[in-house]
Chains A and B, each alone.
Chain A
């Protein structure tokens, strides 16, 4: 079956540095990908999404890159701030799929 996974379960970065969180997916039929942020004690919050007809999409301080050739997704956070500390999940779905499949999550911690 399909699966979505993350290369790194934890990531620690210095405040002000850029963060890169990676995600691998195995279902080549997936055509829609989302990054969610989950802060402690809260539900997941949508950050940014990308469809398979794009390879890059930018938001406010965040960029998502999609490499369909190697089935890899990444989330780049520019100038990481303490408020970025959270667990980040990638999720995928596709044509005919009935559900979002979430990755295991990466915990991002910010060092002052």
Chain B
């Protein structure tokens, strides 16, 4: 158990819909990272927040957004969903602000299926 929690575990929805994925980092970790893992793209970094502020951006679509709240939990919002958005979405957390410093601890993931 990494200490990072994600809800829900599974999510099934229809194209065009909007969903929110939630992540609670390990106690004491200030950074939260979101990743998308699909069969054809591997593990792709989406976005990082550090202590409530956006820190780094990766391959995140404009239809997707995220935020980190004062209690440090984070939410990833996916809107206008398309079939190709079906994937595993992982959240990770770390103490450090920069990705090259400090281990990232991954949550169990949310499996999103768009029908």
Closest partner residue, chain B, to A104 (CB atom):
B42
Q: Is B52 interfacial (CB 8 A cutoff)?
A: no
Known contacts A43-B109, A45-B106, A46-B105; decide if A100 and B90 are in contact (CB<8 Å): no
Q: Is B80 interfacial (CB 8 A cutoff)?
A: no
Contacts of B108 in A (CB 8 A): 41-43
| A100 B2 Cβ-Cβ under 8 A | no
The number of residues on chain A lying at the interface, defined by a beta carbon within 8 Å of a beta carbon of chain B, is: 23
Q: Which of B13-21, B61-69, B71-79, B96-104 contacts A (4 or more CB under 8 A)?
A: B96-104
| B106 A43 Cβ-Cβ under 8 A | yes
Contacts of A41 in B (CB 8 A): 108
Give the contacting residue for B99; candidates A45, A46, A100, A105; CB below 8 A. A100
Please give the residue numbers on chain B whose beta carbons come within 8 Å of chain A beta carbons, in ascending order. Answer: 2, 4, 42-45, 48, 55-58, 90, 92, 99-100, 103-109
Please give the residue numbers on chain A whose beta carbons come within 8 Å of chain B beta carbons, in ascending order. Answer: 31-32, 36, 41-46, 49, 89, 93-95, 97-105
